[in-house]
């Protein structure tokens, strides 16, 4: 996909998706990342599992996963994630930034995706997020 057409996709949103968060799922993630000091019982990078919207947008925008370089990841915890038996969160992802840098032989396209995380399985209208996950990727193309 050309840089111009990706630039025009700033503001594009994924569909709403829901995830069930259980203590076992948190413990499994903590073990996988060797977390010994969880943030309120949740490892600081736990929101990694809530990035489904990014992949939905990659597909919709024609971004091949093989062309993506993961450049930066940021997690913002605005409120604690309450994890209990059968806790649900709702998430949506938006393309928030696009920037292009041209070199002699390549074009680097930087895109930032922001996933908003809400406590509960329902519509996200009129809710305040409990957290954010921001991902910046680089797509490298030959000129």
Q: What is the pTM of this model?
A: 0.86
Q: Which domain holds residue 106?
A: 3-142
d(CA 9, CA 20) in angstroms, rounded, equals 29
d(CA 19, CA 72) in angstroms, rounded, equals 23
- pLDDT value of residue 84: 77
3-state secondary structure of 75: strand
3-state percent helix, strand, coil for the chain, nearest multiple of 5: 25, 40, 35
- pLDDT value of residue 2: 45
**pLDDT digits over 31-46, tens only?**
898 987 666 678 889 9
The total of structural domains in the chain comes to 1
Tell me, rounded to whole angstroms, the distance of Cα 18 from its chain centroid.
Answer: 14
Residue 39's Cβ-count burial label (10 Å; 0-12, 13-18, 19+) is: middle
CB 16 within 8 A of CB 52: no
Two structure tokens written together for 95 = 């393309």
Radius of gyration of the chain, Cα coordinates, nearest whole angstrom: 17
Q: Name the residue among 75, 73, 16 with its Cα closest to residue 40.
A: 75
Supply the CATH number for residue 97's domain: 3.10.129.10
> Along the 143 residues of the chain, how does pLDDT read in single tens digits?
444 478 788 999 998 999 998 888 888 998 898 987 666 678 889 999 999 999 999 999 999 988 899 999 999 999 988 787 778 899 999 999 999 999 889 889 999 999 999 988 666 566 789 999 999 999 988 88
């Amino acid at each position: 996909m050309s840089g111009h057409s990706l630039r025009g996709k700033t503001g594009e949103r994924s569909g709403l998706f829901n995830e069930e968060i259980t203590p076992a799922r948190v413990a499994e993630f903590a073990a996988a990342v060797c977390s010994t000091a969880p943030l309120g019982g949740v490892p600081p990078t736990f929101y990694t599992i809530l990035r489904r919207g990014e992949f939905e947008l990659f597909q919709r925008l024609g971004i091949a996963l093989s062309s993506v370089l993961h450049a930066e990841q940021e997690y913002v915890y605005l409120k604690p994630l309450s994890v209990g038996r059968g806790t649900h969160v709702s998430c949506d992802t938006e393309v928030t930034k696009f920037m292009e840098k041209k070199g002699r032989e390549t074009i680097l396209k930087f895109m930032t995706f922001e996933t908003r995380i809400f406590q509960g399985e329902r519509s996200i209208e009129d809710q305040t997020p409990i957290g954010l996950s921001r991902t910046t990727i680089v797509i490298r193309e030959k000129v």
